[in-house]
Each structure stands twice: as C-alpha cells, then as structure tokens.
C-alpha cells in the first residue's frame, strides 16, 4: 500500500515538474511599442499594431507608450526600454552615427531595423489671417516646430536651412507637440505649425475645421538643397478642409526599429503579423496605405534584425541595389 502511494506521489511530482518545465515555452512576450504624441500618426498606428500582435502573436503582451517620438524612441530602444519603435529615417541615421547635435550622446549601436513603413510629409500649415503663403513669409512670424530634438524638429531645422532661413529669422519659436501647437493657433497665439507626419494627421484636420488654413509649399529646389533622405512629394487636394489644390512638399521615410536584445522569433512574428495585417492597419490610419512589402528595406540606414531578415528572405524581399 505504501509503495503504491509512493509511486503515485512520485508520478504526481514528475507530472508537475514536466508541467513546470513547459512554462518558459509559453511565457508571455512583453512588446512595448514606442510611438509619439497622441495627436500624431505614430500613436494610433501603434495602437493598431498592438491589436494585431494581440490577435496574431500567441502569448504576446503588447503595450503602447506615448513619447516625444523619433529621438526619444531610439534612445529608449538603445537602453532596452522597448521592443519596437517608430522613427524618421534622418533621425535613425543620426542615432546610428551618434550625432550629438541631433540629441544623441553616443552611437546607438544596439539598434536594428525591422521595416520601412510610410513617408512622413513635412506639412507647414499657417492660419489664413497670418498672411503666410511661402517659406519666405515665415520671417518675423511665430512658428511651432515640434518637441525639442524630436524628429519633427530636426526636419524643421533642415527645411528652414534649405530655404535660407533659421530660427533667428522667426519672431518666436515654440517647441510643442502637434495637438498643443494647434490649440495655440486656434487662439491666435501662433501663426504656423510645422508637422512631420502622415497625410491626414488628426491635429491638422482638427485645425482646418476650426480656422481657415494655408498649406505652405516647400518647393523642389529647397528639397534638393536639403538632400538625402528628403524627397519631393505632394499633398493631394482636399487632404484638409479648405485645401483645394495640390501642394508640393518634402517627405522622409519612417521606419520601425527594434534592438539587438529582442529574440529573433519575436521580431520574426512582429514583422510577419504586420505585413499580414496591412488592411487592418490602413483602416486604423490612412498613412498605413503606403506600407509596401517590396519597399520594406528601402533606404534602411542600419543593420536589419535577423528575425525581420528571416521573414524578408522567405518573401524574396531584397535591399535595393543588392
């Protein structure tokens, strides 16, 4: 009797041990997605990606963090304080190089690329009352350029320099997120805002329904002076209320980035689920319509994470020129 009981006890203990041994394989992966301000494109798209991960990556526990966007996201990834982050291409290249003027204290050598996503359009929007119609008209005016050292603010410096302007030429420079910039414009405390975002960004849509606006052209010659990674682009007619004509501007590609410490399988599953869910992402924000698998490695300025590379190899996606 005792021996039977002992065998059962040993059997039960063995079963528990085996059950315990299987736990790590089912351990939940925390995926912190670093985005931007809640009134931009990064945040709502990050929320949509989080839902995709929840639905398609078994055992994942995604979360979404609002941040100051590109520069902060890259710094946090270098510190291991996130698993996926949105960034502008110029910020990414500067972070990899350790450009101190852009806000990076040293080279961010742990960054790894996941994929190119959609282009950010540099959108300069003024109130009609300001009289601003061209870049030259910004002289002596009040402009918001995004949070300090953010990707948007780096874009602002580059575009103004290409137009032969600097912050010293402005009456006032505000370093504010998109939503706060719009509120100041509504209250006539600002003349214009420069916002680097996908087309149809909610902050500018909100502004355009509140006050008459003027979308300011960034001519092709200015874009050429700024150079890579900026390209010429067009804001289509009726993107915003009252904007009836197409407006030439500049654009720079956005990327999703991770770091070398994230497991290959996790990054593979993240990459796979994003490209298998493009209709859902486009439904969350129109900017996601520009995410194309064939462009996934376009202009990638840093090494691609092995997990993402595995997916692209399966799909036959190669970096341009390779």
Give the domain ranges of the chain.
28-118+254-315, 120-252
pLDDT per residue as tens digits for the range 9-25? 444 444 434 444 333 33
Question: Is residue 38 helix, strand or coil?
Answer: coil
Identical fold for domains 28-118+254-315 and 120-252, yes or no, is yes
CATH class of 28-118+254-315: alpha beta
* Confidence band of 2 (pLDDT split at 50, 70, 90): very low
Question: Is residue 120 helix, strand or coil?
Answer: strand
Q: What phi-psi label fits residue 149: left (phi over 0), alpha (psi between -120 and 50 degrees) or beta? A: left
Q: Residue 27: CB partners within 8 Å, gap ≥ 6?
A: 59
Least confident of 28-42, 117-131, 205-219, 296-310: 28-42
pLDDT per residue as tens digits for the range 60-107? 999 999 999 999 999 999 999 999 999 999 999 999 999 998 889 999
Mean pLDDT of the 173-201 span: 95
Residue appearing with tokens 């959609």: 118
Question: Is residue 282 helix, strand or coil?
Answer: helix
Task: Note the pTM of the prediction, 2 decimals.
Answer: 0.79
Check residue 35 and report its DSSP letter.
-
Other Cβ atoms closer than 10 A to 48? 20
Q: How far is the C-alpha of 51 from the C-alpha of 148, rounded, in Å?
A: 30
CATH class of 120-252: alpha beta
pLDDT per residue as tens digits for the range 32-63? 999 998 988 999 999 999 999 999 999 999 99
- Which of 302, 313, 268, 263 minimizes the C-alpha distance to 96? 302
- How many residues does this entry show for the chain? 322
Q: How far is the C-alpha of 198 from the C-alpha of 10, rounded, in Å?
A: 62
Mean pLDDT of the 119-128 span: 96
Residue burial 165-175, b: 16+ Cβ < 10 Å; e: rest: beeebbeebbb
């Amino acid at each position: 009797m005792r021996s039977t009981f002992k065998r059962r006890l040993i059997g039960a203990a063995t079963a528990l041990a085996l059950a315990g041994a299987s736990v790590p394989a089912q351990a939940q992966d925390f995926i912190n997605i670093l985005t931007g301000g809640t009134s931009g494109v990064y945040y709502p798209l990050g929320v949509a990606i989080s839902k995709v991960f929840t639905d398609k990556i078994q055992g994942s526990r995604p979360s979404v963090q609002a941040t100051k966007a590109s520069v902060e996201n890259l710094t946090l990834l270098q510190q291991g304080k996130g698993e996926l982050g949105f960034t502008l291409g110029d910020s990414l290249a500067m972070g990899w190089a350790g450009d101190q003027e852009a806000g990076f204290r040293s080279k961010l050598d742990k960054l790894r690329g996941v994929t190119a996503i959609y282009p950010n359009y540099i959108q300069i929007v003024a109130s009609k009352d300001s009289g601003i119609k061209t870049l030259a008209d910004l002289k002596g005016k009040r402009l918001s350029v995004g949070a300090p050292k953010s990707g948007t603010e780096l874009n602002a410096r580059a575009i103004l320099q290409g137009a032969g302007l600097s912050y010293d030429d402005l009456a006032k420079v505000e370093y504010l997120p998109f939503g706060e910039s719009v509120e100041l414009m509504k209250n006539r405390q600002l003349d214009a805002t420069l916002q680097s975002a996908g087309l149809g960004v909610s902050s500018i849509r909100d502004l355009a329904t509140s006050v008459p606006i003027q979308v300011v052209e960034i001519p092709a010659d200015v874009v050429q002076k700024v150079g890579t990674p900026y390209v010429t682009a067009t804001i289509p007619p009726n993107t915003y209320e009252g904007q009836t004509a197409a407006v030439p501007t500049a654009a720079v590609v956005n990327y999703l980035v991770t770091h070398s410490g994230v497991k290959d399988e996790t990054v593979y599953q993240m990459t796979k689920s994003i490209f298998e869910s493009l209709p859902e992402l486009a439904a969350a924000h129109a900017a996601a319509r520009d995410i194309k698998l064939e462009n996934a490695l376009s202009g990638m300025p840093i090494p691609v994470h092995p997990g993402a590379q595995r997916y692209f190899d399966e799909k036959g996606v190669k970096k341009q020129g390779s």
